[in-house]
Structure 1
Amino acid sequence: MHKLLRSSVPPRAGGEREANNDRRNSMLFNRRTFLLGSAGAAAGLALGATSPLAAENVQLRAMWWGSNDRSKRTLSVAKLFQEKNPDISIVGESLSGDGYWTKLATQMAGRAIADVFQLEPSTISDYSKRGACLPLDPFIPSTLDVGAFGKDVLKLTTVDGKLWGIGLGLNAFALFYDADAFAKAGIVPPGVDTTWKEYADIAIEITKAAGKKNVWGGPYGARYAYVFDAWLRQRGSSLYTESGLGFGVDEAKEWYAYWEDLRKRGGTVGADIQTLDQNTIDTNCLSLGYSAMGMAYSNQMVGYQLIMKSKLGIGMLPRAEKGGPSGHYYRPALIWSIGATTEHGEEAAKFINFFVNDPEAGKILGVERGVPMSPKVREAILPSLNPTEAETVKYINALKDQVGSYPAPAPLGSTEFDQRVLRPIADELAFERISIADAATRLVEEGKATVRAG
């Protein structure tokens, strides 16, 4: 058993309320999740129900964050898994925003981590080194059949020579835009070779074309670590190295100066709007109707389109110069890991294997968590994809000649750096409480104090 550190991501002021404690016989929802209807309700009932005959069954706790659509798909797959494995039951919990990380920190401190829990590329290194995850190597290939994924794909979730999670799909950074708004305004949306300078001009132009008080061209992107990552990679640098930060004060100044200039020229939403964003689909300025463009991950297009009336378009993030590096790379969209404190590692691995390898499960999941890693599942779902889902697959395929190498695993403290350093400093800057120079200095100084080698 790994030693569990009591330190993790501290809760942010004003964050989501922590969900209720796990209960054996019920599905748990906090204020940002929902009660499923029809088939979904049946899934919730089946997942939470027990009977004397099932009293000796193994019960797994699964925890994830995401949209209502993700929860519905996850519960449906869990129900299918239970039908095929009646000796294993699943109790699911869906949280959102910072409430997820607060909950995980509490579980780590109490040595009661969910049997199966969700991570992402920027957090798997951090949490595996904190002792939150169980190494998955012993389950391969007996329980976890990932031979068809390819060794390079498994490297995406390998840290210090051990496999700590299974990627649920491939994705990449992306720029979403309101295709209807651009068509109505007669403005050409950003393309494959759009520079950051050109993007700024487009953002200002679409703001003017909207002609509405509370609608702007795009987000205040200084707040997004993944966009900063791409920006730095385009310039031969990086957000992180294996030992700490990969950038300095001058690079941070350039980054902040760009976004402050664009904000003051009317190309981004205001600070009061941007601070609503909790890195979830339903709090993004695009989905809230405050902007015509948004920056996110390609697999999230499905979730965005479900809650938006306008037709969405998808493209790459802008680049530093035409023909230059894109800053993009393929990444596991999301990851299932097994909790280090579990007493049911084998059963948890069996559930993950079903999630990534069963064609019927794949049809339920679609590409909401990314393009499936399994070639067999990918082939099985293609005929059933709707136009939005097909667009995400097309986008991932189009990036083939644009992506660079996958970066080194993020060091310890990277999650805390994103949530407690980068975002709050960007907010202070947007509210004009600090200068660009002070923001850049603080970002590096506080970043160095937070991010460290494992």
Structure 2
Amino acid sequence: MSSGKKIWSVALLATVMLAATAGCGSGANTNGKIKLRFSYWGSDARKKMTEEAIAKFEAKNPTIEIEGVISDFPSYYDTLATRVAGRDAPDVITLEIRALREYAERGALADLAAKVNTSDIDSKLLTTGVVVGKQYAIPTGVNAFSMVVNPALVKQARVVLPDDSSWTWEDFIELCSKVTAGSGGKVTGTQLSWNPAYLQIYAAQRGELFYDGNKLGLSPQTIKDWWGITQNLIRTKGSPDAAKSSAIYDAGIAKTLIGTNTGATTMMWSNVLGAATKASGQNLELLRMPRIRAATTGGMFLQPSMFYAAYSESKHPFEAAKFIDFMVNDPEAGQIILSDRGLPANAKVLSAVSGKLPDADQKTMAFVNEIRGELATPPAAPPKGSSAMESILKRYSEDVIFSRMTPDVAARKFITEANALLAG
């Protein structure tokens, strides 16, 4: 993903072009209806269910018409930033937590307090949509960054899964290397991950924050030790080598090791379990993340899978809030969307749809309920620039595994570059 600075510089260059087309934005149609635009990213399956939910909303609100604006994820934020800079943003915007503060502090989002009913959303989860005291975003659903395992592949390799309530990173490395060896190399123990959530969990186990205000709270030693897990996985053949790990990192779920049944474990957000199960065609299970030996916390946390926000310059703020309220709170919308945007954040909607959830999502719900008491408080929206953190972390991680930099040098450079970006 592009850095925040790059995104906004590109956006500003495009402002003049968009100014000429701003008249094509939201407003009243010739048929007298109020037209709103709603931006989101995703697959054809998400598009289909979203359009079905929109049709349901329009049937209940015949004076409002919703135009869904979908894109693939890699281009989503570039396009959105350009639209915001050109003052032609969609009325309702889908955001991740890592992009929330950037748009809120640039004045692009409306305060939704008292405009959307939030009485059935957990108060701690709801506060993740608060920036500088204002409720700029409403969570759509929740998920947790977790370990995913294919038990059949582990069993075929004649390896026993450790108890995930007490396993350590050393146990995880040993499991992965034994799976690779026990399968004769046909199955690899795991696929490498450099997701910031993974590092955030590992850092929490050492009593450190990923973000401390507008800078990193990570020590160089923690980053180096975290890379040590990656290096040990490669060394013991518990993961693919550097070249293959890099090549498959950004592959869609259907092309990952877990999705192709050539890997026994992976780390991912829990709401992807359904897609991974469909791709593999096998039973997959969610596990707790391993711990540092003697750690007093597992470091896992619930995070909104997405947010809905309203554009601050929308000509129809009441209608925009009404659509968000429908998408988050209406059981009929929930029956259509199910867990596509995470397990519903609204407790009543979750209860209403729980019996309709596919098996994989039932597992996710059971897993989240099982570990809920162990989870840390959901983190606040990270500072501006954090949307680029994964790409920066991936770049330095690859520098380490390809031996282009020592972990010492890479950790210092990563912290320096990340802090410069977060400082703006």
Query: How far apart, in 1, do the equivalents of 2:275 and 2:312 lie?
Result: 31
User: Structure 1 length normalisation: TM-score?
Assistant: 0.82
Equivalent residues of 1:136, 1:164 under 8 A apart: yes
Aligned residues: 406
Q: Select between 349-358 and 176-185 the one with higher mean Cα deviation.
A: 176-185
| 1:7 positional shift | 5.8
Q: Is residue 36 of structure 2 the alignment partner of residue 60 of structure 1? A: yes
2:157 to 179, 185, 188: 185
Distance 1:342 1:400, change over 3 A: same
Which residue identity lines up with residue 90 of structure 1 in the other structure? I
Aligned to 1:413: 385
| 1:284 positional shift | 4.2
Equivalent residues of 1:175, 1:293 under 8 A apart: yes
Query: How far apart, in 2, do the equivalents of 1:7 and 1:152 lie?
Result: 33
Query: How far apart, in 2, do the equivalents of 1:149 and 1:204 lie?
Result: 42
Show CA shifts across 1:134-193 (max 9, x none): 2212xx2xx411122243332121111001111011221111122321233333335222
Aligned to 1:362: 334
Secondary structure in structure 2 of the residue aligned to 1:451: helix
1:441 to 412, 415, 418: 412
Aligned to 1:160: 132
Aligned to 2:230: 259
| 1:289 positional shift | 4.4
Show CA shifts across 1:417-452 (max 9, x none): 333x21221223233322222211211111111113
Which residue identity lines up with residue 178 of structure 2 in the other structure? E
Query: How far apart, in 1, do the equivalents of 2:313 and 2:255 lie?
Result: 33
Aligned to 2:172: 199
Q: Is residue 204 of structure 2 the alignment partner of residue 228 of structure 1? A: no
Which residue identity lines up with residue 340 of structure 1 in the other structure? S
Secondary structure in structure 2 of the residue aligned to 1:311: coil
User: Structure 2 length normalisation: TM-score?
Assistant: 0.87
Aligned to 1:18: none
Equivalent residues of 2:206, 2:295 under 8 A apart: no
Aligned to 1:29: none
Show CA shifts across 1:394-432 (max 9, x none): 01101122112223431121112333x212212232333
1:70 to 31, 34, 46: 46
Secondary structure in structure 2 of the residue aligned to 1:60: strand
Q: Percent identity over the alignment? A: 27
For structure 2, the 5+ residue unaligned runs are 11-20
Equivalent residues of 2:128, 2:379 under 8 A apart: no
Q: Is residue 358 of structure 2 the alignment partner of residue 386 of structure 1? A: yes
Which residue identity lines up with residue 35 of structure 2 in the other structure? Q
Equivalent residues of 1:144, 1:350 under 8 A apart: yes
Which has the higher relative contact order, 1 or 2, with Cα contacts under 8 A spaced 6 or more apart?
2
Q: Select between 112-121 and 284-293 the one with higher mean Cα deviation.
A: 284-293
Distance 1:83 1:219, change over 3 A: same
Show CA shifts across 1:274-333 (max 9, x none): 434348644644325452211111112122222221211111111112563110112212
Equivalent residues of 2:96, 2:307 under 8 A apart: yes
Query: How far apart, in 1, do the equivalents of 2:264 and 2:282 lie?
Result: 10
Which residue identity lines up with residue 299 of structure 1 in the other structure? N
Equivalent residues of 2:110, 2:309 under 8 A apart: yes
Aligned to 1:397: 369
Distance 1:59 1:161, change over 3 A: same
Aligned to 1:147: 119
| 1:265 positional shift | 1.8
Aligned to 1:120: 96
Secondary structure in structure 2 of the residue aligned to 1:411: coil
Which residue identity lines up with residue 118 of structure 1 in the other structure? T
Equivalent residues of 2:147, 2:267 under 8 A apart: yes
| 1:229 positional shift | 0.4
Aligned to 1:216: 188
Q: Is residue 215 of structure 2 the alignment partner of residue 244 of structure 1? A: yes
Which residue identity lines up with residue 78 of structure 2 in the other structure? T
Distance 1:301 1:322, change over 3 A: farther
Distance 1:158 1:292, change over 3 A: same
Query: How far apart, in 1, do the equivalents of 2:272 and 2:250 lie?
Result: 14
Query: How far apart, in 2, do the equivalents of 1:236 and 1:323 lie?
Result: 9
Query: How far apart, in 1, do the equivalents of 2:276 and 2:8 lie?
Result: 27
Distance 1:99 1:252, change over 3 A: same
Which residue identity lines up with residue 82 of structure 1 in the other structure? E
Q: Is residue 79 of structure 2 the alignment partner of residue 107 of structure 1? A: no
Aligned to 2:16: none
Distance 1:351 1:408, change over 3 A: closer
Query: How far apart, in 2, do the equivalents of 1:359 and 1:335 lie?
Result: 18
| 1:109 positional shift | 2.5
| 1:23 positional shift | 12
Distance 1:288 1:24, change over 3 A: farther
Report the aligned-residue RMSD: 2.7
**More helix by percentage:** 2
| 1:53 positional shift | 8.7
Secondary structure in structure 1 of the residue aligned to 2:423: coil
Q: Select between 96-105 and 345-354 the one with higher mean Cα deviation.
A: 96-105
Aligned to 1:131: 107
**More strand by percentage:** 2
Q: Is residue 317 of structure 2 the alignment partner of residue 345 of structure 1? A: yes
| 1:236 positional shift | 0.1
Q: Is residue 242 of structure 2 the alignment partner of residue 271 of structure 1? A: yes
1:325 to 262, 285, 297: 297
Q: Is residue 245 of structure 2 the alignment partner of residue 306 of structure 1? A: no
2:308 to 312, 321, 336: 336
Secondary structure in structure 2 of the residue aligned to 1:172: strand
Which residue identity lines up with residue 242 of structure 2 in the other structure? A
